[in-house]
Structure 1
Amino acid sequence: MTTSSETSRLALIDKVIDQMKELKSDSILEDCPIGIISMENWEWPQGVGLFSLYLYYKETGRRDILDYLRQWFDNQIAQGLPDKNINTMCPMLTLTYLYEELQDERYLKLCREWGHYAMNEQPRTKEGGFQHTVSGHLNEGQLWDDTLYMTVLFVARMGRLLQDDSYVQESVRQFLVHLKYLTDPATGLFYHGWTFVEKHHYAKALWGRGNAWYTAGLVDYLDMADIPEAVRVFLLSSLERQAHKLAELQAESGMWHTLIDDPSSYVETSATAGFAYGILKAVRKGYLDPAFKPVAVKALNAVLAQIDENGVVNGVSYGTAVGSTLQSYKDVPLCPMAYGQSMALLALVESLKHELAE
């Protein structure tokens, strides 16, 4: 039987989805060479939004969600797709699933084309890491924690879609290389970036949303790819260590700061939602001890408090490049974003699978 709390969350989910679809670019903030607010564009924020919508479709079977995804991709294909890079790869993750649903050969052809690029043409750092190329910037020699979510999940999915283990092994390699250079050994959290050119972690920022890409991404990655058990244990041990530190640094409100270890930085909703989702799912799957569930529930409630009556998720930081100073992270403006809506959606949908106190 559906409880009143579940009914309320279902209604809120619809509002969050509607607002994700309706977000429009803000001329004050949208001064970068790409469009990262409106769902009408093809970039990483839209890719994160599409994936959350697909997971909600699989949970509910709602045909209107599937129809929206089909129409979105068909419109983009008709307009012509952008150049390939780490961030523009993100929507391709959802397209692998959409192909399985609809068996549209156009989708498979695109998946093959972009997968081949990732495997064979994507610029690399030393040790074969995916260089974090973005629209307008090659970022030579740079590893960013964002890459795991934006491209590596897609690569893993291509392994399953094509029944080609080389894609899976490449995804494993990318996780290991990124964790090798981005893990802070003192805390178990992840630095935003590493440069092989200058050999440093920039401002040594333990950035909230960047960490959330790991927390939220790993629990789905393990559903996507059959990886060696030793690697699986290693990745989960990294998640557990991260979760312990997150529990320690969670604000009284349930949120996390945009610089996780810096209480003078503002609290940020998309990271908090990503942590809530990842920890809740990890507990449900047995990846984390149930003792972590109250941490995730507290975070979920904090995210709910950031959603207004229309379904707009507030307190979300704008797109954030690797910064040379910690202050640069504190100065990133707050603005409703597709990934804020989608990460809240992920947390809300996952919460429906858990018994929560009324």
Structure 2
Amino acid sequence: MNTTIELNKMETHAIIEKVIGQLKHLQGGAVEETCPIGIISMENWEWPQGVGLFSLYLYYRKTARQDIKMYLIDWFDRRIAEGIPFKNVNTMCPMLTLSFLAEETGREDYMALCREWAEYAVKEMPRTEEGGIQHVVSGHLNEGEVWDDTLYMTVLFVCRMGLLLNEESFIDESVYQFLMHIKYLTDRRTGLLFHGWTFNGRHHFAEALWARGNSWYTAGLVDYLEMVELPKSVERHLLSALEQQASKLAELQAEDGMWHTLLDDPNSYTETSATAAFAYGILKAVRKGYLPESYREVGAKAYAAVVSQIDAEGVVNGVSYGTGMGRTLQEYRDIPICPMPYGQSMTLLMLTEGLEH
């Protein structure tokens, strides 16, 4: 184990319990919500809650904790009874966890819902030029736009359902989306990803190298590769993009182990959720052999930095609120900071991965 990951397993599990407790009970009020569906409270159905659910599921899978499994089942049963929102890229995120629960419980109502949403994603969800998944979100069509968030929020679920339903076309679609997003979002000067691209004007908006957007690729790719066996040529392409990104991340990592919310702007604040996702993705990539051993120190340094942001009650501090597509770089610098489900959940994923090192 690298010396920078200093917690023993008992200490890590104790911190995880506090982080989970806060994840379950986060409430709005710290900032004025700007999203049509609230993204702070775990009692809503949106992408932050989806990320939280998946982190809980992966921790359940590691520990076999039945109380966590029952929390997840209860969460879905209550949301479904209330009525779930319109299908879009972000509301698709909770479906990834539901697909695992559908398989594990054998519940046909879960599976039918997953099948319906996956078929919509593949066959009906709006597309840009060249067939990219248009980043439609609650309240905004974002016509002609592809964002780096989409890979984590929707494409992982599409792949997962391809495997469950034995639908090769779904898996092919997931591969195409990864390749298409890399094609249009990669900054060839740095190997990092721009937040978004629009075919309406053909530009990268503010050309923001936004930390959390980049971290969705780092964290999402390692889970994607664990999920599906890809052609070696495709895997090689995706991993080369990861190593290009990781190389620049190592260069831009702040002295304290964090990354700035604009990765190449040291005057923007450091941001914890992205740092946790980078730590998770890098450490897991090293363990799985996707990245060279030399990157372990980068991940471990980030791990220690995130642990230092967890307060005595388990609240993960230094997390930015939901971030739309900025038309100026200043918009990213001005995003408010408050506890968020994805701050808690990416930290949970990171801590769970830390148990492997």
Whether TM-score is above 0.5 comes out as yes
Structure with more contact order per residue of length (Cα contacts < 8 Å, sep ≥ 6): 2
CA offset at residue 56 of structure 1?
0.2
User: Measured at CA, do residues 277 and 27 of structure 1 come closer, stay the same or move farther in structure 2, by a change above 3 Å?
Assistant: closer
In the TM superposition, residue 27 of structure 1 has moved relative to its aligned partner by 6.5
**Structure 2 residues not aligned, in runs of 5+:** 1-5
* Number of the residue aligned with 2:330: 327
Q: How does 1:10-21 map to 2 (within 5 A)?
A: 10-21=13-24
Could you tell me which residue of structure 1 aligns to residue 340 of structure 2?
337
Q: What does the per-residue CA deviation read over 1:276-299, in whole Å, with 9 as the maximum and x for residues that have no partner?
A: 000000000000011100100000
**What's the offset of the Cα at 1:28?**
3.5
2:145/2:199 contact within 8 Å kept = yes
Distance 2:143 2:31 in 1: 29
Which secondary structure state, in structure 2, belongs to the residue aligned with residue 256 of structure 1?
coil
Structure 1 length normalisation: TM-score? Answer: 0.97
- Is the 8 Å Cα contact of residues 99 and 110 (structure 2) preserved in structure 1? yes
Unaligned stretches of 5+ in structure 1?
Answer: none
The Cα shift of 1:224 comes to 1.5
Identify which of 295, 298, 302 aligns with 1:295.
298
Measured in 1, the distance between the counterparts of 2:221 and 2:88 equals: 21
Question: Does 2:141 match 1:138?
Answer: yes
Residue 178 of structure 1 is aligned with which of 181, 186, 189?
181
TM-score (norm 2): 0.97
For 2:349 and 2:31, how far apart are their aligned partners in 1? 28
* Larger displacement relative to structure 2 (3-12 or 216-225): 3-12
Q: What residue is the counterpart of 2:115 in the other structure?
A: 112
Identity %: 66
**SS of residue paired to 1:172:** helix
CA RMSD of aligned residues (A): 0.9
| Structure 1 position 222 matched with structure 2 position 209 | no
Q: Deviations over 1:24-79 (max 9, x none)?
A: 01164213311100000000000000000000001000000100000000001111
Aligned residue number for residue 84 of structure 2:
81
Equivalent AA in structure 2 for residue 345 of structure 1: L
Q: Deviations over 1:292-322 (max 9, x none)?
A: 0010000000000000000000000000001
User: 2:30, 2:338 within 8 Å by CA — same for their partners in 1?
Assistant: no
Matched residue pairs, number?
Answer: 352
Q: Distance in 2 between matches of 1:162 and 1:210?
A: 29
CA contact (8 A) 1:168 1:227 kept: no
Task: Give the Cα separation in 2 of the matches to 1:232 and 1:28.
Answer: 41
Distance change in 2, residues 1:321/1:4 (3 Å): closer
Tell me, yes or no, if structure 1 residue 278 matches structure 2 residue 281.
yes
* Residue of 203, 207, 213 corresponding to 2:206: 203
**Residue 5 of structure 1: CA displacement?**
1.7
Asked if residue 167 in structure 1 is aligned to residue 170 in structure 2, the reply is yes
SS at match of 2:8: helix
Distance in 1, matches of 2:354 and 2:111, equals 33
Is 1:159–1:225's contact at 8 Å kept on the other side of the alignment? Answer: no
Secondary structure of the corresponding residue to residue 194 of structure 1: strand
Q: Is the 8 A contact 2:319 2:338 kept in 1?
A: yes
- The structure 1 segments of at least 4 consecutive aligned residues displaced by more than 6 Å after TM superposition are none
| Residues 229 and 71 (structure 1), Cα distance of their counterparts in 2 relative to 1, 3 Å cut | same
